[in-house]
């Protein structure tokens, strides 16, 4: 048990559980996990904890909580995309770090060289595939080209992590379908519109 959970229990007794039997999380009110003053600690259900971090756009924390909530692969994917997009906006994504990219390229080159020697590299898997890869290299869109190529694709709105200019605009305005929420009338879970249509409503497992 982490120290702040022990501190909370010393002052308030046992940490409560929700209807699913999941122990409440202990949240730091000021966001400083090193500040374990009892006045800074509050017990929240796992959903409440998620909602607070989501409202503060702390998507990394949301992803960790989503894993513990056993969210669907689609919901985890949506949060992971938000984490990646946020890193891109803050210019902290590994794709935008030349040093990190160089290490990855160097490691990949060793593996690729061995695969070429063994005759198992995908470049050698067929004429069409080989020509496609060579064309991507000529157009400077192949991932082998590293951070500079990735940044150019991000700036142009063509990188798969960004999803294009339209998606960027929707995300910035809070109008993207992944940001729109709806509460399922059967399980009372708050989810995105896309996930509601696919996993909730008439398709909800809790529907009687």
Q: Which residues pair with 42 in a beta bridge?
A: 27
For residue range 195-205, list pLDDT tens digits in order. 787 788 888 88
Residue 137 lies in a domain: yes
Supply the pLDDT for residue 86. Answer: 87
Supply the pLDDT for residue 117. Answer: 67
Q: Identify whether residues 20 and 86 lie together within a single domain.
A: yes
| Four-residue CA torsion sign, 170, 171, 176, 182 | negative
**Among the three residues 91, 114, 130, which one is the final residue of a domain in this structure?**
91
For residue 196, report the phi and psi dihedrals to the nearest 5 degrees: -60, -45
Listing DSSP states for 103-148 in one string gives HHHHHHHHHHHHHHHHT--GGGS-HHHHHHHHHHHHTT-SGGG-HH
Measure the CA angle with vertex 96, ends 108 and 102; round to 5°. 30
Supply the pLDDT for residue 201. Answer: 85
Q: Identify whether residues 84 and 20 lie together within a single domain.
A: yes
Best CA proximity match to 44, nearest among 60, 64, 65, 70 = 65
Residue 183 lies in a domain: no
Residue 173 lies in a domain: no
CA 16 to chain centre: 29
Structural domain tally of the chain? 2
Supply the pLDDT for residue 48. Answer: 94
Q: Identify whether residues 20 and 79 lie together within a single domain.
A: yes
Supply the pLDDT for residue 164. Answer: 54
Average pLDDT, 10 consecutive residues per value, the chain (208 residues)? 90 92 93 93 94 92 92 91 87 69 62 69 61 70 61 63 61 72 87 80 81
For residue 97, the 8-state DSSP code is: -
Supply the pLDDT for residue 107. Answer: 65
Q: Identify whether residues 10 and 24 lie together within a single domain.
A: yes
Pull the structure tokens for residue 172: 């910035």
Q: Identify whether residues 118 and 98 lie together within a single domain.
A: yes
Residue 170 lies in a domain: no
Q: Identify whether residues 21 and 51 lie together within a single domain.
A: yes
Q: Identify whether residues 50 and 129 lie together within a single domain.
A: no
Supply the pLDDT for residue 158. Answer: 62
Residue 189 lies in a domain: no
Supply the pLDDT for residue 188. Answer: 87
For residue range 49-86, list pLDDT tens digits in order. 999 999 999 999 999 999 999 999 999 999 999 998 88
Residues 6+ apart with CB under 8 A from 132: none
For residue 165, report the phi and psi dihedrals to the nearest 5 degrees: -65, -40
Could you list the residue range(s) of the whole structural domain that residue 133 is in?
94-160
């Amino acid at each position: 048990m982490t120290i702040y959970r022990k501190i909370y229990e010393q002052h308030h007794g046992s940490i409560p559980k929700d209807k699913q039997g999941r122990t409440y999380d202990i949240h730091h009110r000021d966001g400083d996990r090193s500040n374990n003053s009892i006045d800074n600690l509050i017990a929240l259900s796992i959903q409440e904890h998620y909602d607070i971090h989501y409202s503060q756009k702390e998507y990394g924390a949301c992803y960790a909580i989503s894993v513990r909530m056993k969210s669907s692969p689609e919901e985890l994917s949506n949060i992971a995309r938000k984490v990646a997009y946020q890193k891109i906006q803050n210019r902290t994504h590994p794709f935008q770090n030349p040093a990190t990219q160089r290490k990855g390229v160097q490691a990949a080159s060793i593996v690729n060289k061995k695969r070429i020697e063994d005759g198992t590299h995908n470049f050698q898997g067929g004429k069409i595939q080989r020509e496609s890869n060579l064309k991507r290299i000529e157009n400077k869109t192949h991932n082998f080209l590293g951070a500079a190529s990735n940044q150019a694709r991000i700036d142009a709105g063509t990188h798969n992590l960004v999803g294009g200019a339209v998606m960027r605009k929707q995300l910035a305005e809070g109008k993207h379908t992944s940001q729109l929420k709806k509460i399922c009338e059967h399980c009372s879970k708050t989810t995105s519109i896309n996930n509601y249509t696919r996993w909730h409503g008439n398709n909800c497992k809790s529907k009687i």
